[in-house]
Amino acid sequence: MRSARGLRSWWWVLGVFALALSMAASAAPRSAKASQRSAERPTAGKSVRQAKANRAARSKPSTRRAAVKTVPHRPSIGELQGLHATDDPLDLKSSVAFVIDQDTDQVLFSKNPDAVLPIASITKLMTAMVVTEGGQDLDEPLTVSAEDIDTEKGSRSRLSVGTRLTRGEMLHLALMSSENRAANALGRHYPGGLPAFVAAMNATAKLLGMTDTHYVEPTGLSSKNRSSARDLSLLVKAAYEKPLIRELSTSPGAEFEVGRRMQEFRNTNRLVRNPSWDIGLQKTGYIVEAGRCLVMQAELAGRKLIMVLLDSAGKYSRLGDAERIRRWLLEHTGAATVGAIERGG
């Protein structure tokens, strides 16, 4: 009896063991497939990180170089007239150059001196002449108005509408920093307004013998303000006789109360801060039609000189041309070659 019972227990154990093996065998493929699916499917944390990385990649600016917008070249009047083709021994970038001895009127260098061109803010020298000769009160307050805003070229100004400065301060800013609104305000506050002021500008030019010169407004923004280098040398010579114009045009910088705070303004001609130069009067100018312009009175090697440079190509080329002329004059002072160089009529 006991043997039969033991045998049945043994067969029961074997059956349970076989059933366990069968269940394990059938579960293995399912487990493998689940593991494979688990490996192929990212975890929630990985999915969030990957999504963030994808968004960051999309939002990151492209490293490809943006296409450069080309601005069409706008030639100056001198360029259109072919004046830049005129050769000169100094290889100047200015198409017009004229240098004379202030005391003797001896021509030391000449290149297209009679070409009549727009003169940009060189105009403001004549504006200063009319103001100083008009005998107006330099301490009288003037107010910048909407009429002084540049509607022709759209140029900016640090003098907002409503700014109040004295006539003397407006003149200082017009000459030193070439402030267009200051120059226009000076013309507006002339007896008879702008029409009378412009008439006085042209009358003064006629008195000085400037036969190639014509003005239509006091700032130089209009390309209809025109003159020649030979005429402008007469203007520089006359303006130099005005101590106030000499002082204000060569001021390196100054502070003015504009609105409720002090603002610093600097000279548009950096040569006034160059110790190599002894400048007694100067004025710069630029509009597209005129190119870069510069007129100066300077003492060099014991001689007082008047220098006119018009229609220069390049932002700093007029200053570079002035340096070339200065070095050339220092090398040739007293030599017979000085005064013999003249190009272009």
Question: At 305, which CATH number?
Answer: 3.40.710.10
Q: Is residue 56 part of a domain?
A: no
pLDDT given at position 259: 85
Q: Is residue 250 part of a domain?
A: yes
Low-confidence ranges of the chain (pLDDT < 70): 1-71, 333-345
pLDDT given at position 337: 42
pLDDT given at position 132: 97
**Would the pTM of this model clear 0.85, i.e. be above it?**
no
Q: Is the dihedral of CA 127, 220, 224, 297 positive or negative?
A: positive
Q: Is residue 13 part of a domain?
A: no
Q: Is residue 207 part of a domain?
A: yes
Q: Is residue 89 part of a domain?
A: yes
Task: Please give the tally of structural domains in the chain.
Answer: 1
pLDDT given at position 343: 59
State the catalytic residues.
121, 124, 178
pLDDT given at position 331: 87
Give the range of the structural domain holding residue 276, as residue numbers without chain letter: 77-343
pLDDT in tens, 82-135: 999 999 999 999 999 999 999 999 999 999 999 999 999 999 999 999 999 999
Opening angle at CA 96, ends 265 and 77, nearest 5: 85
Spatial separation of the C-alpha atoms in residues 27 and 98, rounded to whole Å: 104
Q: Is residue 26 part of a domain?
A: no
- CA-nearest of 312, 306, 289 to 90 is 312
pLDDT given at position 301: 82
Which residues, 6 or more positions from 323, have their beta carbon under 8 angstroms from its beta carbon?
none
pLDDT given at position 67: 59
pLDDT given at position 61: 52
Residue type present at position 246: R
Number of other CB atoms surrounding residue 153 within 10 Å: 15
Spatial separation of the C-alpha atoms in residues 263 and 181, rounded to whole Å: 16
Spatial separation of the C-alpha atoms in residues 253 and 264, rounded to whole Å: 7
User: What ranges in the chain are assigned the alpha helix state H?
Assistant: 2-40, 44-59, 77-80, 123-133, 167-176, 180-188, 193-207, 229-239, 243-249, 317-332
Q: Is residue 49 part of a domain?
A: no
Q: Is residue 15 part of a domain?
A: no
